[in-house]
Amino acid sequence: MTDQSLTDHPRTAPSPAAPSPAAPSSAGPSPAGPPVAGPGGAGAEERHEEFFAAVSDMDEHRAVDVVHRALDDGLAPESVLLEVIAPAQARVGAEWAAGRFTVAREHAATAISDRAVGALACHPAARTEPRRGRATVTCVDGEWHAFPARLLAETLKLRGWRVDFLGAHVPTPHLIAHLHATGPEVVALSCSLPVRLPTAHATITACQAAGVPVLVGGAGFGADGRYADLLGADAWAATATEAADRLERHGPLRLTPHVPGDPLAPLPHLEDQEYTLVSKARADLVGATVAGLGERFPALRDYSPRQLEYTREDIGHVADFLVAALYTGDPQLFTDFLGWTVRILGARGVPAHSLALGLELMAQQLRDFPRALALLGAGRAVVAAAGTDAEGAA
């Protein structure tokens, strides 16, 4: 398909969960989200440009310098965080989506933004006495997009919370041990990719079982947070500001102390076992689909081993989103991802018919799974429509 894995997702790219071509900035890293107009005003905007230039050049020292100067000049630390650093990071993601940044460059930019956030936290202007409760900010296990969570952690610190930031890819047992040891008032859980929703569900349930309410955020929960409710989160916030406001307004979220109930209740469709069976058969499904592509798509035979591996990864991500859609029972999760993938392919000049073919091959293997077949059917319709649009535009 391409000479790079499409779905080797960048660290903060606009996630496939929030594909919104009309408003690329809104597809930025939630819960940080789009910049909020604040007292920083034009100053913040200029500095944002400067900062973006620095991270684009992978120049850590210049990036840190921009942050220090902004703080020295009296710009509020929260504005620097959410109006200078966050939007720049969202742009990095957009650059990647448009095919102008490699994943590695995007990755480097994120690492530098992260350092810049660290520099901000050490600046005297950002020093805040903890005057509120304790909060734990963490990412779902398997989640590498730690940056949005980091922004939230720093925002909460600036608002006077005692924050424990556990970072990316936190195994749930570590998180729960941490909750027992520190007893925070709330866990803020970030999930950027909907494929992690089953894991997120397990984490939310575990935190609540440990007596701590969970506020969730991140593009993985849907642009409108619809999966937050489905998975029983106590609250959802679209942006870091919203999350901080939510915690401030309502004080500690009072968890309705629920005696553990039937975990299947919100997801009655799981009874058909399709999620379990398809996720278990993932490796076979991907292998057979790639083999089928080789037969039907002659160009694949000339691919280098590296290119073949990328193709396998891409098909693997399609399978992951299919599995996540089976878990949530929401076809839009799958169709949104495919729509996004078609656009990404388009940005790299790759036609979408190999994707359509991949979906067809998957459907052939999942004949006994009515829900999976319905999802694949809806997916093919989306890809076909997008293909027609592209031709029309050409």
Partner 1 sequence: MRETGRRPGAASALIVTSPHRIPEPPPGQAAGRHVPGAAVGASVLRALVEDGPALVVCDTEGGVVFRNSAAETLVPRLRDARRLASPGVPQWLSEAHARGAATAEGPAGDREVTATRSPLPDGLTAWRLADVTEERTACRRLADERGRTRFLALASARLLASLNRSKCLQTTAELAAGQLADAAVVVAPAGRRRMTLTGAVAGDAPREKSLPAAADVEEVPGLAEALAGFPPVPSRWVDPALAPQWLLPPGFGELGSLVVTPLPGNGVPAGALVLLRRAGSPAFTEDEEVFARVFAARAGAAISAAVLYADKNDTTEILQRDLLPPPLAPVEGLDLEGAYRPARAVERIGGDFYDVHPCTFGEGEEGTFVVLGDVCGKGPGAAVLTGRIRNTLTALRQVESRHDRLLRLLNDTLLRRQGADARFATMVLADATPLGHGRVGLRLTSAGHPAPLILRGDGRVEEAETRGTLIGVVPSVTSTTWETVLEPGETCLLFSDGVTEARGGASGNEMFGTQRLSGALAECARMPVRAVVERVEMLTAQWLGGNEHDDIALLAVGAPRGSHLTAVDGTGRGRYTG
- The strand pairing partners of 214, in sequence order, are 187
* 254 touches partner 1 (CB under 8 A): yes
Closer Cβ to partner 1, 64 or 359, answer by number: 64
Q: Which of 39, 41, 130, 183 forms a contact with partner 1 (CB under 8 A)? A: 183
Residue 284: CB atoms within 10 Å: 10
Q: How far is the CB of 283 from partner 1 (least distance, A)?
A: 4
Residue 349 interacting with partner 1 (CB under 8 A): no
Q: Based on CB atoms, which residue is closest to partner 1, 323 or 325?
A: 323
Residue whose C-alpha is closest to residue 161's, from 89, 85, 107, 240: 240
Residue type, 12: T
- CB nearer to partner 1: give 102 or 276: 102
The helix, strand and coil proportions of the chain, stated in percent and rounded to the nearest 5, come to: 60, 5, 30
Distance from the first to the final alpha carbon of the chain: 20
Report phi then psi at 353, rounded to 5: -70, -25
- Rounded to 10 degrees, what is the CA torsion of 308, 309, 311, 316? 150
Q: What type of residue sits at position 252?
A: P
Q: How far apart are CA 263 and CA 275, in angstroms?
A: 15
Question: According to the binding rule CB under 8 A, does residue 256 interact with partner 1?
Answer: no
Residue 50 interacts with partner 1 (CB under 8 A): yes or no: no
Query: Applying CB under 8 A, does 130 fall inside the site for partner 1?
Result: no
182 binds partner 1 (CB under 8 A): yes
Tell me whether residue 258 or residue 301 sits nearer to partner 1 (CB atom). Answer: 258
- Based on the shown chain and the rule CB under 8 A, indicate whether residue 115 belongs to the binding site for partner 1: yes
Closest CA to 75 of 46, 54, 44, 45: 44
The DSSP secondary structure of 59-104, one letter per residue, reads -HHHHHHHHHHHHHTT--HHHIIIIIIHHHHHHHHHHHHTTSS-HH
Q: Does 324 bind partner 1 (CB under 8 A)?
A: no
Examine residue 257 and tell whether it contacts partner 1 (CB under 8 A).
yes
Residue type at position 154: E
Q: Which stretch binds partner 1 (CB under 8 A): 12-20, 157-165, 264-272, 279-287?
A: 279-287
**240-249 and 147-158 helices cross at what angle (nearest 10)?**
40
How far apart CA 251 and CA 211 sit, in angstroms, is 16
Measured CA to CA, the distance from residue 229 to residue 266 in angstroms comes to 9
Q: Does 104 bind partner 1 (CB under 8 A)?
A: yes
| Least spacing, CB of residue 246 vs partner 1, in Å | 17
Any contact of residue 103 with partner 1 (CB under 8 A)? Answer: yes
Q: Which stretch binds partner 1 (CB under 8 A): 81-89, 153-161, 207-215, 371-379?
A: 207-215
Is residue 263 a contact residue for partner 1 (CB under 8 A)? no
Question: At which residue do the structure tokens 């989103």 appear?
Answer: 321
**Using the rule CB under 8 A, is 94 a contact of partner 1?**
no
Contact between 209 and partner 1 by CB under 8 A: the answer reads yes
Residues that bind partner 1 (CB under 8 A): 8, 11, 58-61, 102-105, 107-108, 110-112, 114-115, 142, 144, 169, 171-174, 177, 179-183, 209-212, 251-252, 254, 257, 259-260, 283, 286-287, 290, 306, 309, 312-313, 316
